[in-house]
Structure 1
Amino acid sequence: MNIFNHTVIQLDKKVTLNFINVENYSKDFVKLIEEEIGFIRNGIVNDEDIKDIKKRIKIWIDRKKKDERAKNGFVAEFICHLYLRSRKFEQYSLFKNLEERGPKKGFDGLYMLDNEMWLVESKSTTVLKNTHFSEINKAYSDIKMKIESSEENLEINDPWENAKHHIQIANPNKTLTENMKKLSSDFINNKKHKIKEFNIIPCSTIYLKGSWKKIDDDELKKIFEKEIVKKDAKKLNVLCVNKKSVDDFIKFINN
């Protein structure tokens, strides 16, 4: 069953493209959200009633009032987490800040697949002239900045320390925690790393509303196969999502 109406294209050993289309939420899609939202938000120790999870998210969304950009980004990132978990990526981060009620800071996600670590960055837009390639570039640039920064870059908080804390709560893993501890130590001691050392998942969501259409797989593949292979990274797993709106998610939260 193709709940995400998606296509997966393996360009080469380094690059995988995922083209995802979410127009409306089917019963199966809602069922998947109900099954996954607890772990996505709270991690392995989730014991919270789904009604309370919905209420917490509703409170955060209501506080944003007219900040459509924040709400769009929140829903876009959630759908990316939902998709990755459906693809058997193992989640080691929480979809929230540890210090407050909103979505998390630092990397947008930390996952494992086949004993390899993957870092996630999600971008979204309602500007129809923007393209998936431009949004993926933004996500790539952001994650590159976080990976390649250190304590001397005063505007950047230590993303590895943040990731370590999330692992300890979301899904404890001693080896992964030690890895984050080492990377965090490198960060504060200005031992810089390069993005080519890491597997990354840059994500792009475009909200189309009344201009809804599915991704043209062949057309988008042609765009990416010329340019994405030039990007430095150990491996790239690219997510492009055409989404109609946030309305179905808001409806789900309110029910």
Structure 2
Amino acid sequence: MPFKSNVFDSECRELAGGNHIHFINIPALVDKITTHIDASIVSICEGATCTDLATIKQRLIAFLTPKKGTTTEMGAIAEFFGHLYLTEIGFNQEFLFLNLEEGSIKKGFDGYYSLDDETWIYESKSGSTATEGITHESKISLAYSDLKDKISGNPANNPWQNAYNHACHIDVGTDASIRQNLKALARAFTQGTRQDIGSFNIIPGSTLFLEGSWSDIDENDLSPKLEQLIDTFSFTKIHIVCVNKASIDLFWAYLEN
């Protein structure tokens, strides 16, 4: 199934088995992107509410301000644009970007999506190119490791219960079948049963912030490296999402406009 964005400068490469690698370049927030953010920001953050644009911007500013200058700020902004892209190409968001506890970070998966009759688990990792040795491959590997730990390991919090709590929010509108499956997984986790990551569809994501000189992702160089990496992963299906973004300040300029 081909995936094409009408908003972002992006390319999607389809691999065997229904797997995909997405490359997205965001050197600036051009009008097409800011218009799309305007249309999507409320649903991404709060679901199907009637909150106006100015209010949701204020809520995001309040959420991000205490985190300024930290990796949490960078991670939250990277994650937001991941949700913006995935929902634009057709994935259905079964959670709220802003946690149910005001001001806190989600204690489970970064995202839980549905597409047609399948569900997908998203994990976003990010960093600055000012960090020596940082690559999309290393961030994708880290995202996969975190997914594996949450699904198959012993995380401090029950990720399925958190996903279930989000899916049960009336403004998310998740189908009953998805909620029931999440509840069964949450119950199994509580009882000590862990799942095999190979039984799930996953979306590891990487965002690199290019604070300084800009360069597009070199898809021809990166794609074979990611395909080699995929061969070491366990999953049912996989979408890998790699984003080059100019700077954190782009989103702040949008919010404060």
Q: Same fold (TM over 0.5)?
A: yes
SS in 2 for 1:57: helix
Checking the alignment, whether the CA contact within 8 Å between 2:164 and 2:182 is kept in structure 1 is: yes
Checking the alignment, whether the CA contact within 8 Å between 1:146 and 1:156 is kept in structure 2 is: no
Letter in 2 for 1:66: G
Deviation string for 1:192-211 (max 9, x for gaps)?
21000000000000011213
SS in 2 for 1:209: coil
Report % sequence identity.
38
Give the alignment partner of residue 148 of structure 2, picking from 131, 144, 151. 144
What is the alpha-carbon distance in structure 2 between the residues aligned to residue 157 and residue 72 of structure 1? Answer: 23
**Equivalent residues in 2 for 1:28-67 (5 A)?**
28-44=32-48, 46-67=49-70
Which portions of structure 1, spanning 4 or more consecutive aligned residues, are displaced by more than 6 angstroms?
none
| 1:222 shift after superposition | 1.4
Q: 1:238 maps to what in 2?
A: 240
Letter in 1 for 2:134: N
| 1:128 shift after superposition | 5.2
Checking the alignment, whether the CA contact within 8 Å between 1:14 and 1:234 is kept in structure 2 is: no
| 1:227 shift after superposition | 2.3
SS in 2 for 1:160: helix
What is the alpha-carbon distance in structure 1 between the residues aligned to residue 167 and residue 227 of structure 2? Answer: 34
| 1:2 shift after superposition | 4.4
Which stretch of the first structure deviates more once superposed, 218-227 or 237-246?
A: 218-227
Which stretch of the first structure deviates more once superposed, 29-38 or 100-109?
A: 100-109
Checking the alignment, whether the CA contact within 8 Å between 1:56 and 1:101 is kept in structure 2 is: no
Q: 1:77 maps to what in 2?
A: 79
Q: 1:168 maps to what in 2?
A: 168
Matched, 1:125 2:127: yes
Checking the alignment, whether the CA contact within 8 Å between 2:121 and 2:202 is kept in structure 1 is: yes
Deviation string for 1:174-194 (max 9, x for gaps)?
101100111011101112210
Tell me the C-alpha RMSD between the 2 structures: 1.3
Letter in 2 for 1:96: L
Q: 1:159 maps to what in 2?
A: 159
Checking the alignment, whether the CA contact within 8 Å between 1:91 and 1:171 is kept in structure 2 is: no
Checking the alignment, whether the CA contact within 8 Å between 2:107 and 2:157 is kept in structure 1 is: no
Length, aligned pairs only? 249
Deviation string for 1:146-166 (max 9, x for gaps)?
1113xxx3x521111110110
Checking the alignment, whether the CA contact within 8 Å between 2:10 and 2:25 is kept in structure 1 is: yes
Letter in 2 for 1:97: N
Checking the alignment, whether the CA contact within 8 Å between 1:73 and 1:124 is kept in structure 2 is: yes
Which stretch of the first structure deviates more once superposed, 138-147 or 102-111?
A: 102-111
Give the alignment partner of residue 20 of structure 2, picking from 16, 25, 29. 16
What is the alpha-carbon distance in structure 2 between the residues aligned to residue 227 and residue 180 of structure 1? Answer: 29
Q: 1:97 maps to what in 2?
A: 99
Checking the alignment, whether the CA contact within 8 Å between 1:40 and 1:94 is kept in structure 2 is: yes
| 1:70 shift after superposition | 1.6
What is the alpha-carbon distance in structure 1 between the residues aligned to residue 184 and residue 190 of structure 2? Answer: 10
Q: 1:185 maps to what in 2?
A: 187
- Pair 215,193 (structure 1): closer, same or farther in 2 beyond 3 Å: same
Q: 1:209 maps to what in 2?
A: 211
Give the alignment partner of residue 110 of structure 2, picking from 108, 111, 132. 108
When the two structures are superposed, what TM-score results if normalisation uses the length of structure 2? 0.93
Checking the alignment, whether the CA contact within 8 Å between 1:91 and 1:112 is kept in structure 2 is: yes
